[in-house]
Structure 1
């Protein structure tokens, strides 16, 4: 091992009186293939999320737990695989990578950050920065899709060591929302703690009032259509247009 520089995708393992380094994927394949199957094929427990709305508009979200023996084993392996991947990282990187709850996405993020050469990483970073700068959303895109897209770009940039201020992320999200959200966007853009507020907090608050916003937007649209349909004709009924475009009283 002397003189050998280990990468963050390598692990040091005991082999009797000797030590050797192996790639993470090799280690999982040799020691516990079930864990590698989860990382490679995402063969893991998938919880079901259910959202219910009670009287008074209170929204409750519940996430199912593993029930069968097979589901419990998958859940256990999920936790183990993710924990082992996090253990390969230096402490200063744990905060960045801890956001990845799925072992497969966590491993992909580690490979993106620490695998490949610097030229590839620089190209990826430049591309993602351009995507963030030009980020926009069509008027028909849902708030969920907008939130997920911007979160993905920000997360990938963080993995590559490019961090964006929380205030900038929040403003980018607010500015990209459809016009039906304008009233609420103005309120949130002027909040004094926008620079420390999590984008998740903004998203969750907007999700609570999403139904109300859509109902209001639909009502306004219907009112405008009715007003247009009932507006008086610009042509007077007592005018007759001649072939020369000159009107004469009947």
Structure 2
């Protein structure tokens, strides 16, 4: 193939020119998962779904709900109103953002007719516990509720025999 005339390498193209742009930022990701909404009588399922949702989307938010967010600096003004002092460090600012986000997510997952009961709470952990208390009850309470029904049923059967 010496006489083919293709001994020259192919011409190289100059690198493409790009216009000067601002440094690229990380892309903003929007979650398309819907929050589970709490329905009457379905607290246990809702709590499981919320735990998985929060642990998957933003684990530090789930930790705020489970463990609390540490102390917040507060003061009382002359009228007796409690005021939260501004953050002093970046860590305090991040903690407050997580607290707000956790509370917002919990409130968004409640039915509208129950928002008034929980919206003034300032702590996500306390809000979670209040929701659990209001909608879930505890095992001892549920057990006590079931026992009288069983007793009444048993007495009814005795009376018929």
Please indicate the TM-score interval, normalised by the length of the shorter structure.
Answer: 0.5 to 0.7
Q: CA RMSD in A?
A: 3.4
* Alpha-carbon distance in structure 1 between the residues aligned to 2:70 and 2:131: 19
Shift of 1:118: 9.3
**Cα contact 1:45–1:78 (8 A) shared by 2:** no
Once the two structures are superposed, residues 125-183 of structure 1 have per-residue CA deviations (whole angstroms, 9 ceiling, x without a partner) of xxxxxxxxxxxxxxxxxxxxxxxxxxxxxxxxxxxxxxxxxxxxxxxxxxxxxxxxxxx
TM-score normalised by L of structure 1: 0.36
Question: Among 53, 68, 71, which residue is 1:42 paired with?
Answer: 68
Where in structure 2 are there 5+ consecutive unaligned residues? 1-38, 146-161
Q: Structure 1 residues 66, 93: closer, same or farther in 2, change over 3 A?
A: same
Write out aligned runs for 1:8-47 (5 A). Answer: 8=43, 10=45, 22-44=48-70, 46-47=72-73
Once the two structures are superposed, residues 76-110 of structure 1 have per-residue CA deviations (whole angstroms, 9 ceiling, x without a partner) of 11110000000111110001111321100000011
Q: Does 1:86 align with 2:130?
A: no
Shift of 1:23: 2.1
Q: Structure 1 residues 77, 9: closer, same or farther in 2, change over 3 A?
A: farther
Q: Structure 1 residues 109, 102: closer, same or farther in 2, change over 3 A?
A: same
* Alpha-carbon distance in structure 2 between the residues aligned to 1:121 and 1:98: 27
In structure 1, the residue matched to 2:132 is: 111
Once the two structures are superposed, residues 29-65 of structure 1 have per-residue CA deviations (whole angstroms, 9 ceiling, x without a partner) of 222111111111112461231556xxxxx87865311
Write out aligned runs for 1:145-224 (5 A). Answer: none
Larger fraction in strand: 1
Shift of 1:113: 1.6
In structure 2, the residue matched to 1:170 is: none
TM-score normalised by L of structure 2: 0.53
Give the length in aligned residue pairs.
Answer: 106
- Residue 23 of structure 1 aligns to a residue in which SS? helix
**Cα contact 1:45–1:66 (8 A) shared by 2:** no
